[in-house]
Amino acid sequence: MRIVLLGAPGSGKGTQAKLLVEKYKIPQMSTGDLLRAEVAAGTDLGKKAKSAMDAGQLVTDDIVLGMIQTRLAKPDAKNGFILDGFPRNIPQAQSLDAMLARLGQPLQLALLVDVETDVLMKRLTGRRTCGSCGAIYNIHFSAPKTSNKCDKCGGGLTHRSDDNENTVSNRLKVYQEQTAPLANYYKAQGKLRTVRGVGTVSSIFKAMGDIIESQIRPLADVMGKIESAALRAAAKAKAEEAKAKAAAKAEKIAKAAAAKAKLPAKKKVVAKKAVAPSKAKKKLAKPAAKTKQKIKTKVKSKAKAKAKAKAKKVK
Ligand code: AMP
């Protein structure tokens, strides 16, 4: 499933994205997380992005588009993804559509997590993140049992540098101006669904799960059925082709065998014909020789008889 999570900073979409990853076993792609990793690693890209991030402004489109393109090309993106914090403006959304069209994997759902601005403000300024396991707390709404210590792994909690009041109000302003129009962009595509992002994490997660199930599952099932029918048809066509090839081969072999079987018979005929004249000669030659012998014997006996008669006359 291919989802974009929309929502202002502090709407809780990052927290929900992590739960969706666990449930649907597809990766979360957060441009904010990717950028923070670049900043922490001190890369050129991180250095370029840092000043915009610290000021609560958007990083340039070419930087985030490059990062997303690289991320989408990874093998784990084949089964789907949850985009979190991207796209942040209309040009990014258009570029994403183009990228996904090239991959033949269009977006299925844009899920907007809707929260009032005053709640967002408290959430952002009160947010604390575990430096070890990434668990998120809020000192106003969901404080850790021990101050600044992760309940899950005991790691230290950090306050994001862009979660101070000045930067937060800037980020919310940028959201209203540049990101909020994406709701209409996806509405026009018939892909927008909204969930109210206030309440317990689990109740919001359930509402999101219900929307995903009703929007994507039926579509995924239909697509799955179409795909398996196409696969079955392709397999059948392949099997028939193989069968036809085998039949053609068998026919060729049979013809060759028949031709081979005829060949010695012809040879015999040819041999007979070849032998026949000499035999015929012999046959013809035999009576001729016998006749010659008979004539010779007759001549001899006639000569003998004549000689006898002559001898008698002399006596
Ligand atoms: P986030 O964690 O999503 O609130 O992002 C933190 C900061 O990273 C933002 O205030 C921006 O400066 C920058 N950022 C994250 N995603 C984007 C994006 N898609 N386009 C531009 N800048 C972004």
Q: How far is CA 76 from the centre of its chain?
A: 12
For residue 16, the CA-to-ligand 1 centroid distance in Å is: 17
pLDDT at 313 over 90: no
Residue of the nearest CA to atom 1 in ligand 1?
A: 32
pLDDT bracket for residue 56 (50, 70, 90): confident
CATH of region 2-116+165-215: 3.40.50.300
Ligand 1 within 6 A of 85 CB?
Answer: yes
Q: Residue 293's pLDDT is what?
A: 73
For residue 256, the CA-to-ligand 1 centroid distance in Å is: 74
Determine how β-strand 127-130 pairs with β-strand 157-158. antiparallel
Q: What is the pLDDT of residues 199-253, one digit of tens each?
A: 999 999 999 999 999 888 666 666 666 667 778 888 899 999 999 999 999 999 9
Q: What is the pLDDT of residues 66-90, one digit of tens each?
A: 999 999 999 999 889 999 999 999 9
Q: Taking residues 165-187, what's their average pLDDT?
A: 93
Q: Taking residues 19-37, what's their average pLDDT?
A: 94
Q: Residue 221's pLDDT is what?
A: 62
Q: What percent of the chain has pLDDT over 90?
A: 61
Ligand 1 within 6 A of 124 CB?
Answer: no
- Residue of 265 and 38 predicted with greater confidence: 38
Whether pTM exceeds 0.85: no
Q: Which of 93-107, 112-126, 185-199, 286-300 has the lowest mean pLDDT?
A: 286-300
Which atom of ligand 1 has the smallest separation from the CA of 56?
10
Write down the mean pLDDT value for the chain: 86
Query: 151, 145 in Cβ contact below 8 A?
Result: yes
Catalytic residue among 71, 128, 171, 193: 171
The amino acid present at 311, given as its one-letter code, is A
Cα distances (Å, whole numbers) of residue 294 to 143, 303, 305, 307: 143, 14, 16, 20
Q: What are the sequence ranges of the domains in the chain?
A: 2-116+165-215
Q: Which of 35-39, 143-147, 220-224 has the lowest mean pLDDT?
A: 220-224
Q: Taking residues 109-121, what's their average pLDDT?
A: 94
pLDDT at 288 over 80: no
88 is catalytic: yes
- Residue of 116 and 225 predicted with greater confidence: 116
Determine how β-strand 81-84 pairs with β-strand 157-158. unpaired
171 is catalytic: yes
Residue of the nearest CA to atom 5 in ligand 1?
A: 32
pLDDT bracket for residue 265 (50, 70, 90): low
For residue 147, the CA-to-ligand 1 centroid distance in Å is: 28
Q: Taking residues 15-30, what's their average pLDDT?
A: 93
